[in-house]
Amino acid sequence: MWPPRYAYRVRILVLGSGAREHAIVTALLRETADDGSAAHEITAAPGNAGIATAVPVIALDPTNPQVVAAFALDNDIELVIIGPEAPLVAGVADALRQRGIATFGPGKAAAQLEGSKTFAKRIMEEAGVPTGRATRAGSLEDAVDAIDEYGAPYVVKADGLAAGKGVLVTPDRAEAIAHAEFWLSHGSVLVEEFLDGQEVSLFFLSDGHTVLPLSPAQDYKRLADGDEGPNTGGMGAYSPLPWLADGFVDEVIETIAIPTVRQLALEQTPFIGLLYCGLIITSSGIRVIEFNARFGDPETQVVLPRLVTPLAGLLLAAASGELAGVPRPEFSNDVAVTVVLASEGYPQAPVTGRQISGLEAALQTPGVTIAHAATARSGAELLATGGRVLSVVATGGDFAEARARAYAALESIRLEGGQYRTDIAARVSE
């Protein structure tokens, strides 16, 4: 049924504990009923200190299918939104759907699109989706052969989930071989041809058959300014991408999203959830660098604040197989910038347990919200509990305004040893 008219509050469970999940909860809470109260009843599990200020949080293991399904049944949950990849790969969506609970997130089999790079490459090959050439190697000898075949710069990837640490792009052959050797002790590796160009993250809602695009974003994967330093989970992002060619989104729908979803449906593993297309625009066309099976982090923090269409209705329609006929989601003309504040030592060995202060002052900046990631309360103190601590999100009429707001807010926040990039969205030309 579109547009959705909720006759009652939808009981929603959001799984996860990152800034992405905080951004999802914030977007859901923007929907209000006629009397101005929140349109939906939202619970998060396990959440974090920021999410806990917005909605009730439950301490349960989001990767345990039986535990999540039992909680959802006991609490009459009508929609489960799965944030991170680990519950997807663990089969949480399958357990929920078996019990008739509408779930936004693919089952274990379709989540292999993210969980196994070899699986993703096979699907792309079958579906005729453009991507870089790659060789799977199960031994160091094979990896070295492939490294020499493709040449520098070298691209070596862990085949399975590696929390953003599995990919190395380097001009240094010895380093490429060492990376392959390390990840071979965990499974196979993929050696890939180097692709050169601008990167774009484009998200699609999928109900297994129909896809709807969200607004494109760009993520900054390297730790330091000027794209120096190691790859991370993502240090910042902005949306939209004013420099994209007209017709870009339509081309990705036709050549990438629809063929991929069709192939998965054909294999009896329909993809219900968010298809994250990590793309690179090379001189010979658009190529897929990676698929993820969930909302991107930190891109979600800049895409959802600009979403005008009610999020719950879209996710419920996708989870219920009812996207056909739903209009494309609408986005505001505002732009959004997010800058991630990370702990000292991130990504190799983040220092945790340090106090964070100044958030109230930061939130005084117009257009600024803060999406918490690795935060926890200890009495009156807010502590950093992991690598990526929080995302400062700023919207504005243009990128100069949004950037100025984000960085002004960051100046108010104190975290000993905290690190962030100063060049997020610095060179966005309209």
Chain positions contacting ligand GLY, by CB under 6 A: 219, 234, 292, 296-297, 299
**294 forms part of the interface with ligand AMP (CB under 6 A):** no
Pick what 296 binds: ligand AMP, ligand GLY, none; C-beta below 5 to 8 Å, kind-dependent: ligand GLY
Spatial distance between the Cα atoms of 399 and 299, rounded to a whole number of angstroms: 15
137/156 with CB nearer ligand GLY: 156
- In the window 105-164, what residues touch ligand AMP (CB under 6 A)? 132, 155, 157
Of 67, 65, 90, 93, residue with least CA distance to 80: 93
Residue number with CB closer to ligand AMP (131 or 301): 131
Among 29, 127, 169, 400, binds ligand AMP (CB under 6 A): 169
Tokens of 341: 């504040």
In terms of Cα–Cα distance, which of 385, 191, 199, 207 is closest to 277?
199
Structure token digits, residue 220: 């900054």
Of 153 and 358, nearer to ligand AMP (C-beta) is 153
β-strand partners of 357? 414
Q: For residue 21, which of 387, 393, 372, 377 has the smallest C-alpha distance?
A: 372
**Residue for token pair 């005729």:** 128
Contacts with 417 (C-beta within 8 Å, 6 or more apart), sequence order: 343, 344, 345, 351, 354
Q: Which does 78 bind (CB under 5 to 8 A by kind): ligand AMP, ligand GLY, none?
A: none
Site for ligand AMP contains 31 (CB under 6 A): no
Euclidean distance between CA atoms 400 and 335, whole angstroms: 10
Q: Which is nearer to ligand GLY, 382 or 425 (CB)?
A: 425
Distance between CA atoms of 112 and 119, rounded to whole angstroms? 6
346/231 Cα distance (integer angstroms): 10
Kindly tell me which residue out of 148, 290, 322, 334 binds ligand AMP, with binding defined by CB under 6 A.
290
Q: Rule CB under 6 A: say whether 296 interacts with ligand AMP.
A: no
| 292 touches, from ligand AMP, ligand GLY, none (C-beta below 5 to 8 Å by class) | ligand GLY
H or E element in which residue 167 lies: strand 167-170
Choose the contact partner of 231 out of ligand GLY, ligand AMP, none; CB within 5 to 8 A by kind: ligand AMP
Is residue 221 a contact point for ligand AMP (CB under 6 A)?
yes
Answer yes or no whether residue 289 interacts with ligand AMP by CB under 6 A: yes
Residues binding ligand AMP: number (CB under 6 A): 14
